[in-house]
Chain A
Amino acid sequence: MSLNNAMLEKYRNNFLQEVAGNVEQGDWVKMCMQCGVCAGSCPLGDAWEHSPQKIFMMIRANRREQVLSSDSMWMCTSCYHCVVRCPRGLPIPHIMHGLASYAKRLGLAPKSNPTLWFAEVFWNNMLKKGRVNELKLGLSLYFKDGFASGIKQAMAHQKLGINMLKAKRMAPMDMFAGHAIKDIFGLHKMIRKAQEIEAAKLEANSK
């Protein structure tokens, strides 16, 4: 049984409990008093369908699929305006991040969301050598929609690239070398272990 089905089976009609038990800082959701300060504070408030306030109410109303497939959590810029203003002190950005990554893990996140895509590219880029390779990260962005579009993007941003090179804020050699940590083996082992522990907990929770 997929993890999603196992969770559905286990929690039945109690999505609030599912969130509290499986989502980063999810037990805070029940503290929301629906004042709406978070919704009014979000810099991308115009860009998303569901404000944190709405997401929290939808969780209580068991709108499981609607919440997990929403692109709203992926609009969080981690600016922390909501968290310092929330009268109940909810760690809202972390709950948003938690819902987003939980949705991704269950296979319910919106697949074409650009931030979901970028988060994955960033994570893999950073993990490869233990440090970000900005040149490769930038090029992956240009070539996101294929080769032809990538060339077009790169041409359009040619001036910016040249200026960054001149200012020594971009290094062409990073294409081949780039910054790396020494104990990359240890870092990878550590991350694998952390992933294993986390996956095992989720698996146990689904039973």
Chain B
Amino acid sequence: MAKFEYSYYPGCSSQTGASSSNLMRSVDTMCEELDLKLNPIPDWNCCSASIGYGSGNVLPRLSLSARNIALSEQHNPNQDIVATCAACWLSTRETAERLHQDENMFKDVNTALAEARLTLTNKTPIRHMAEVLIEDVGYESLARGVKKPLQGIRIAGYVGCQTNRPFGIAGESFENPLYLDKLVESLGGDSVPTYEKKVQCCGGALAFSEPEKSQAMIHGIIEAAYDNGADMIVTPCPLCQTNVEIYQDVINAKFGSKFEMPVVYYSQLISVAYGRNSKDAALDGQLIRAKKLESFAG
């Protein structure tokens, strides 16, 4: 039996052929190594992310996340829901909390859920994979399993927004969270605690609707990583990863920069440090190859 078991909400962007399929693949590898069992919520739906408000208003939006929690309660009872996507985690947890605070809304959501033959009791803790790593696995235990310490790689921890605010990770500050740095150190890599853009917004969904404004912010995020001598950026968020990695050509053309900064997930770092190869760590899913990490992965 696995050490820990969770009800897993992977989210749209983590599916096969989607923009963060490399997150899903490396999370699977990481969980194999850490003996964590993820039971996907059967028939989970999109949470509508942070842009859902525009057409979704309140009740339809909350119903979307409520459906996922209700399905989890039905099929994976007594298991904490764990999300790997920042927006999935935020929407689901926000829904759970809002429905705890607002009895009428809770009643209305259940009326809507009844149309899909579902009931919500709303007793399930909603957690992020980073919380699982820090609180259930722990840095020390994580460090013990390292087979290939990531010696000599300087990795800037880009926490971003929604993994960090408004809920964040217990014991961490909103302004200067250190858990990615601690994670990097646990894996034998060099953290960059002075990386000043670690909680800067990348634009989120506005990278699509307001690309110029977002790309200016992304430029700053990458520039600061270079200024701090980083070899690569690590992030827990699929949209942060995508936004910061894939527009570097466009940004270079616009700003006259020569950026070629790899942006990887924590799950890829752990997979490599635990001795897995590039494919298992989904390093073939990078648009900008993380060559230093690949040299460890073999």
Contact = CB atoms under 8 A, between A and B. Distances in A.
Interface stretch (A2-10, A58-66, A123-131): A123-131
A160 interface: yes
B22 interface: yes
B44 A197 contact: no
Interface stretch (B31-39, B107-115, B185-193): B107-115
Contacts of A116: 54
Interface in B213-236: 213-214, 217
Nearest to B44: A181
Most central of B15, B16, B64, B208 by chain A CB within 10 Å: B208
A84 B162 CA distance: 12
A193 B43 contact: no
Contacts of A84: 165-166, 168, 174
B134 interface: no
Contact of B201 (A74, A79, A163): A79
Given A84-B165, A193-B115, A198-B60, A123 B54 contact: yes
A174 interface: yes
B49 A190 contact: no
A179 B54 contact: no
A115 B43 contact: no
Per DSSP, are chain B's interface residues mostly helix, strand or loop, or mixed?
loop
Nearest to B42: A182
A177 B44 CA distance: 18
Interface residues of A, number: 62
Interface stretch (B124-132, B254-262, B264-272, B281-289): B281-289
A43 B43 contact: no
Contacts of B152: none
A126 B53 CA distance: 13
Contacts of B49: 122
Interface in A124-141: 124, 126, 130-132, 134, 141
Contacts of A117: 209
Given A117-B209, A169-B20, A192-B115, A131 B204 contact: no
B76 interface: no
Nearest to A157: B250
Contacts of B246: 160, 163-164
Per DSSP, are chain A's interface residues mostly helix, strand or loop, or mixed?
helix
A187 B60 contact: no
Interface residues on B, range: 35 or more
B161 A78 contact: yes
A194 B45 contact: no
Given A123-B54, A126-B48, A191-B63, A169 B17 contact: yes
Contact of A98 (B58, B112, B285): B58
A75 interface: yes
A195 B166 contact: no
A100 B201 contact: no
B161 A169 contact: no
Contact of A169 (B22, B57, B116, B214): B22
B19 interface: yes
Interface string A131-159: 11010000001000000000000000001
B140 to A, nearest CB: 29
Contacts of A98: 53, 58
A132 B249 contact: no
A171 interface: yes
A114 interface: yes
Interface of A: 24, 43-44, 47, 74-75, 77-81, 83-85, 97-98, 100-101, 104-105, 114-120, 122-124, 126, 130-132, 134, 141, 159-160, 163-164, 167-171, 173-174, 179, 181-183, 186-187, 189-195, 197-198
Closest 8 CB pairs of A and B: A119-B54, A171-B17, A186-B116, A78-B50, A80-B165, A123-B55, A97-B53, A79-B201
15 contacts: A24-B58, A43-B217, A75-B206, A80-B162, A97-B53, A98-B58, A101-B56, A115-B206, A115-B210, A116-B54, A122-B54, A122-B55, A131-B15, A186-B118, A190-B113
Given A81-B161, A132-B13, A168-B17, 16 more contacts: A75-B210, A81-B201, A114-B210, A115-B205, A118-B51, A119-B51, A131-B12, A131-B46, A169-B285, A169-B287, A179-B16, A179-B18, A182-B43, A183-B116, A187-B116, A197-B112
